[in-house]
Amino acid sequence: MYPSSRKRRAETLIINQENEPDETQEEVQEEDPQMIDTIPDLPTHIVFDILSRLPIKTLFNCRRVCKDWLSLISDPHFAKLHLSRSQVCLLVKPITERYQSRKLNLVDLRIATYARPRESRIKLVPKINLPKDPKIAFNIVNSCNGFLCLSEPVTDDPIYVCNPILGEYITLPKCSSGKTVSSCAFGFSPVTDQYKVIRSFCNGDHHEVEIYTLGEGFWRNIGNDPYGVKPRFYSSFDTFVSGSLHWFAFHYRNPDLINCFDFTSEQFRAVPGPSRFCGSQKEYMRLGVLQGCLSICDFSDGDHVDIWLMKDYGVKQSWSKDFYIVKMINETEIYDYYEPIMVLEGGLILMLVNEDSLLVYDPGLEHYEDVHIYGIASMFRGIAHVPNLVSLGDVALGENLKRKHLGSWFLTCLARKLLDLMLSGHEE
C-alpha cells in the first residue's frame, strides 16, 4: 500500500501531455482502399452485432462512414441492443471556485483505464433553459438507463429529463405557487416500460409526493411518504435496482432498513440491510449498484472499507461482504468518501474517492493507482452513467421534445481504427 497517492504521479495509469502528437490524424491519412472495399461484403447482421459492442464515441464516429451505417445506428432496435451491452461510464461535471460549469464530460472508463486518454472523453453541453448567469448551472439529480435527470440549481424547479448523448431534453411542468421541492428523482418501470419522475414537498410534519410519467404531461399526487421523513433521493451513483430507487433512511425507528420507491406500484417500501448493518453510521456509507446488485460501501471503519452486495434482491440473508479495501493513508488529506463504480478485469475495483479522485484498487496487492481524466484539471463531481442511443421521443410520446445539433459535439471519424475493429471482428 502506498502512503500517499499525491506523491506517486509517475505511477498513474494515464499521463496526459498536451503537446503529444495527434496519432489519430496520422492514422486517417494511412487508409487502405482494400480495407474499405472489404466492409460492404460483411453480412448486415455481423455489422449490426459488431457496431452494437463499440464504445459510444467510436459508434458516433461510425455514423459518418456511410448512409447505411447511419440508418442502422439510428434504428430504435439497435439503440436498445447497444444499451443492453453498454458499460458504465463516468459523467463528470467540472467544479471551479469562480463558477459552476454547464459542461459535462462522458468518460469511457475502459478506454480511460487502458488506452489513450484523448479517445475516452466526450464533451457534452446540455441545452436547457437556464439563466444566462455563468455562475448558475444545474443540479445532476440522477441517471437511469442512459437518461439523465437535471434540475434548476436553487429550487429544483423546473426539472429536466435529457439524453445528453443525443442532445435531447424535456422540461417538466413547474410547481404551483406556494410549494417548494425538497427532493426529486428519476426512474423506470420495467413492467409498464414507462419513465417517471417523483418529487416531494415539505407539508408540515409530512412530505407530500407527486409523480410525473413521461408522456402524460401532468403531475399526480400519490400521498405522503409513509416513513415520515424527508426522502433523500440524491446519490452520486446509480441506486436503481429491480424497478426501484433506493436511499438510506436517516431515522431511528428502523435504522437498519433501506428505503426505496417502486416505480411500477408507485409505492414506498423498505428492504433489509446486512445482518451487521449499523444504521447509525449511514453518513459513512454509500448505496450503489455493483455487478448488477444493490451494494453498500461502508467506510465507517478507520482503516478499511467493506463492500456488501445483495445477491438475491429483497432477501436479507443474501447480503455478502465481497470486497475488503485497505484505506489509503495520505499525509496531506484524508480520503473520506469511497464510491465503487465497477469491477474491472482481474478483480480490480474502480472507484471515486471524495467525488474528485478516480482510483483503481488491487485487492491482492493492496495497491492504489490514480486514473487521470484527460482535460479535467479542476475538481469535479462524478456520476455513474450508461450511454444511451434511445431517443426520448420514443419513450415520451407527446412531450415537447427539444434537440441540440450533434455536429459540434463529436470529433471527426477515426476511419482506420474503425476499419481495424470491423475486420478483426469479422475474422473472429
Coil vs helix vs strand at 147: strand
CA 309 centroid distance within chain: 19
| Whole-number Å distance between alpha carbons of 316 and 395 | 34
Q: Can you name the residues that pair with 92 across neighbouring β-strands?
A: 105, 382
Of 66, 44, 78, 50, whose CA–CA distance to 391 is shortest? 78
Count how many residues are written for the chain.
428
Residue 299 has pLDDT above 90, yes or no: no
For position 145, which CATH number holds? 2.120.10.80
Domain of residue 186 covers 5-427
pTM of the model: 0.77
Of 198, 208, 99, whose CA–CA distance to 144 is shortest? 198
pLDDT above 90 coverage of the chain, percent: 15
Three cell numbers, residue 28: 486517417
| Whole-number Å distance between alpha carbons of 379 and 360 | 18
The count of domains in the chain is 1
DSSP 1: -
Q: What is the mean pLDDT of the chain?
A: 74
Helix (H) or strand (E) holding 305: strand 304-310
Task: Label the pairing between strands 257-262 and 244-248.
Answer: antiparallel
Residue 68 has pLDDT above 70, yes or no: yes
CA 41 centroid distance within chain: 37
Stretch 179-201: mean pLDDT, rounded? Answer: 90
Provide the pLDDT for residue 279: 61
